[in-house]
Copies of this chain bind each other. A is one copy, B any other.
Amino acid sequence: MHADRTTVGRLAERGAYDFPTIAAILDAALICHVGFVADDGQPIVLPTIHARIHRALYLHGSVLAHWLKDAEGTRLCVTATIVDDIVLARSVFQSSMNYRSAVALGTAQIVRSPQEREAAFKAISEHVCPGRWNDARLPNDGELAATIVVKVPIEQASAKVRTGPPKDPQEDLALGYWAGLVPVSSEYGDPVADPKLPPEIAVPPYVRRLVRSGSEAITTEENA
């Protein structure tokens, strides 16, 4: 996997620009990495949870996080990547990964509308664990005051996807090396109850469903 420009100049066959493809990758990735430029010009990349609503991404965090507090009007890059296979070609050069990656660019807006903030909290919660929003204590006034929500309207975006077997040149096929794919997947294990949980409270059905689904987030139908 060679990282390239977001405009996918190289390896055009791996570039996929249609929004449904990009949206599906953003939705399937459990977390994203958000990039911003610090005051001194240093690029900073941090992992965070995200959710997509139509053509915007929502991020959230503490009011004490400088990059969120100062985000209004700054350019952000939100990148989500899912690795599907290690690609072992006969040559080191052709060895690669199968992956799906989406890069979304936009100018950050701090969300102030209570309705839009609630929609973002719900979307982020449901992105991680569909069903949880209706089975948890929702944010109180103090918690709301302590949390910033940033909206990133997706102004530009691209996706890159590699699938399929190694692409060794003809002359390498006779070499005696094994070649193929090693599948990579993100899996959920059996839920571990909080030590403080009363034993009579069972694992809820939506958590059991999550574990069965594997860790690619489940897309809600209203958000396609």
Which of A15-23, A28-36, A109-117 lies on the face that meets chain B? A28-36
Give how many copies assemble into the complex. Answer: 2
A141-185 contacts to B (CB < 8 Å) = 143, 146-147, 165-166, 168, 172-173, 175-185
Chain A contact residues: helix, strand, loop or mixed:
mixed
Q: Check A83–B30 contact: CB distance below 8 A.
A: yes
State in angstroms the CA–CA spacing of A42 and B37 once bound together.
Answer: 8
Q: How far is the CA of A65 from the CA of B128 in the complex (A)?
A: 34
Given A79-B45, A92-B133, A184-B215, A2 contacting B65 (CB threshold 8 A) = yes
Write the nearest CB–CB distance from A191 to chain B, whole angstroms.
Answer: 5
In the bound complex, residues from chain B placing their C-beta under 8 Å from that of A65 are: 2-5, 9-10
* 26 A-B pairs with C-beta separation under 8 A: A2-B48, A2-B65, A3-B46, A3-B48, A3-B59, A6-B46, A9-B65, A34-B45, A35-B45, A42-B77, A45-B77, A47-B79, A83-B186, A85-B192, A86-B210, A92-B121, A92-B132, A93-B143, A93-B146, A95-B125, A178-B193, A178-B202, A178-B207, A180-B194, A180-B203, A185-B187
